[in-house]
Amino acid sequence: MRYLRSLSGRFLILTVVFVMLAEVLIFVPSIARFREDFLMNRLERAQIASLALLANDEISPELQEELLMNAGVFNVVLRRNEARQLMLSSPMPSAIAETFDLRNATPVSLISDALSTLTDPSPQMIRVIGEPSQMGGLLIEITLESRDLRDAMIDYGLRILWLSAVISILTAGLLFLAVRGVLVKPIRRSVRAMQAYAEAPEDARRIITPSSSTTELREAEEALQTLQTQLTSALRQRERLANLGGAVAKVSHDLRNILTSAQLFTDRLELSDDPKVKRMAPKLVGSITRAVHLCEATLAYGKAEEPAPRLGQFQLIDIVADVIESERLAVGDADVSFAEDVPATLTIRADAEQLFRVIANLVRNARQAIVNSGKSGEISISASETIDTWIITIADTGPGLPPKAKEHLFQPFQGGVTKGGTGLGLVIAAELVRGHGGVLTLESSDATGTVFFITLPRGEISTE
């Protein structure tokens, strides 16, 4: 059974089936042709037998019986002029059951009559009408028994079927060997190469070497070689990046500790009476603070241990209110206002803590952009729902994102939206949204402001 499910086994079966089907399509016209030739032969033999009577009117009954026996018929009617003449005759065992006219027989009628003869085993008398050969008259008519015709057809059919079976077996065997050598073996070789590569994809020696002489298979092997080469290079690069990330995490950890100690010392510098120290201390504190934040963000991203969202139902307005309240405390003297347009009854299904982090990150970026611009601005949070999704919109009237930030928006350490930023905030926010099966997108960003969309699916997340 396993062999029958293989490509070779199925091709062998299909080959035998199609060859036999072709042989059947050949057999049916062949058996019809054989029947026609058999009857035409009996007509010719009957015509030859009737010539003896034309040559000599007085023929003994014994000779007539011998002529009819040699011709294989019971009687012969020949029409030479306008009149039909019974040339030879003998007693018939039964009445005539059916008449066949071969003068204007079509292929369809010949095939139909042949199948009818094969499927009807009962012996019966039939009349056959044809044209005499060599212009020997206008019409010749004979009467014979169908048993001899059917026996001859069965014998011929069996010989054709045996020949068809031999041809089918030989053809199927040759095609099987040809396909096995041209198609199956190269495919198995490619499969073995893929299995060997899967065991150790980092080993470049396991990359397949195209060797097939068949154009399509060679193209497949070349495509597989290209894919394996790229994957091996990517795995090597990933390993190097992982090692580099581990080193950076260690350096960031130690550097954070050093900077934390330095930050404690700079706090005391702010108490100094020296005007220069007072003027430079805030800048030094700010620089050290940003360095500490960079180290903390790098460590957080390097861990890559964000837990799966714990889904629960809650009203979105509560999360939005907490975010706005926190950001209002951080605004200080800046002219930044907040607005929300979230239905009080809008209930969503998500991880409340992770969604708070996502919205807070977007609002904080918007607030920092407005504050850094030195102008007034507004940040608004709105929400809506459709049959399939919840959509949360965070919009601001700030200066818009820098071109570099838009180009590398969700790439770590490249898409920072504020000066000195790492870009990790948006990367982590996007990952949290993807963990919910949703997507974080930048709808627009220009001199009039920036708009982000958080789209969350309403269906349950599959854990299978």
In 3D, which of 299, 380, 367, 360 has the Cα closest to residue 335? 367
Over the chain, what is the mean pLDDT? 77
Residue 358 lies in a domain: yes
Cα–Cα distance measured from residue 90 to residue 93, given in angstroms and rounded to the nearest whole number: 10
Q: Across the strands, what pairs with 452?
A: 394, 442
Q: Which of 172, 187, 203 is the last residue of a domain?
A: 172
Residue 87 lies in a domain: yes
pLDDT greater than 60 at residue 172 = yes
pLDDT greater than 80 at residue 359 = yes
My answer on whether 42 and 92 are in the same domain is yes
Position of tokens 């899967």?
198
pLDDT greater than 70 at residue 333 = yes
Residues 6+ apart with CB under 8 A from 51: 136
In 3D, which of 402, 397, 401, 426 has the Cα closest to residue 413? 426
Residue 360 lies in a domain: yes
Cα–Cα distance measured from residue 452 to residue 442, given in angstroms and rounded to the nearest whole number: 5
Residue 254 lies in a domain: yes
Residue 185 lies in a domain: no
Quote the tokens at residue 280. Answer: 């430079």
Residue 414 lies in a domain: yes
What does the pLDDT average to over 308-334? 85
Q: Which amino acid is at 144?
A: L
Cα–Cα distance measured from residue 146 to residue 376, given in angstroms and rounded to the nearest whole number: 111
What is the Cβ-side half-sphere exposure of residue 90, based on CA atoms within 13 angstroms?
Answer: 21
My answer on whether 331 and 293 are in the same domain is no
Range of the domain at 351: 312-457
My answer on whether 286 and 316 are in the same domain is no
What angle, 0 to 180 degrees and rounded to 10, lies between the N-to-C axes of helices 107-119 and 146-179?
100
Quote the tokens at residue 282. Answer: 């805030």
Total of domains in the chain: 3
Q: Which of 303, 333, 357 is the last residue of a domain?
A: 303
Contact between residue 410 and residue 431 where contact means Cβ atoms under 8 Å apart: no
Residue 200 lies in a domain: no
Cα angle: 43, vertex 47, 49; to 5 degrees: 115
pLDDT at 326: 81
pLDDT at 463: 34
Backbone angles phi, psi at 104, to 5 degrees: -125, 35
My answer on whether 267 and 355 are in the same domain is no
Distance of CA 404 to the CA centre of its chain: 39
At residue 456, the 3 state secondary structure works out as strand
Residue 14 lies in a domain: yes
My answer on whether 39 and 165 are in the same domain is yes
Please report, for the domain that includes residue 404, its CATH number: 3.30.565.10
My answer on whether 42 and 115 are in the same domain is yes
Percent of the chain with pLDDT over 70: 72
Instruction: Name the band, by pLDDT with cuts 50, 70 and 90, for residue 437.
Output: confident
Instruction: Name the band, by pLDDT with cuts 50, 70 and 90, for residue 362.
Output: very high
My answer on whether 13 and 84 are in the same domain is yes
Cα–Cα distance measured from residue 272 to residue 285, given in angstroms and rounded to the nearest whole number: 14
Q: Which amino acid is at 133?
A: S
What does the pLDDT average to over 217-241? 77
My answer on whether 235 and 365 are in the same domain is no
Cα angle: 208, vertex 210, 216; to 5 degrees: 120
My answer on whether 343 and 237 are in the same domain is no
Q: Which of 172, 192, 226 is the last residue of a domain?
A: 172
pLDDT greater than 70 at residue 195 = yes
My answer on whether 428 and 320 are in the same domain is yes
This prediction has a pTM of 0.43
Q: How far is CA 300 from CA 184, 260, 296, 304, 431, in A?
A: 51, 17, 6, 7, 13
My answer on whether 225 and 87 are in the same domain is no
Q: Across the strands, what pairs with 391?
A: 384, 455
pLDDT at 461: 40
pLDDT at 302: 55
**What DSSP character marks residue 180?**
I
What is the Cβ-side half-sphere exposure of residue 72, based on CA atoms within 13 angstroms?
Answer: 16
Among 8-12, 343-347, 383-387, the range scoring the smallest mean pLDDT is: 8-12
pLDDT at 355: 92
Cα–Cα distance measured from residue 103 to residue 131, given in angstroms and rounded to the nearest whole number: 6
My answer on whether 156 and 44 are in the same domain is yes
Name the helix (H) or strand (E) containing 94: none
pLDDT digits (tens, 9 = 90+) for 270-298: 666 677 666 666 666 666 666 666 666 65
Quote the tokens at residue 359. Answer: 């919205």
Cα–Cα distance measured from residue 441 to residue 362, given in angstroms and rounded to the nearest whole number: 11
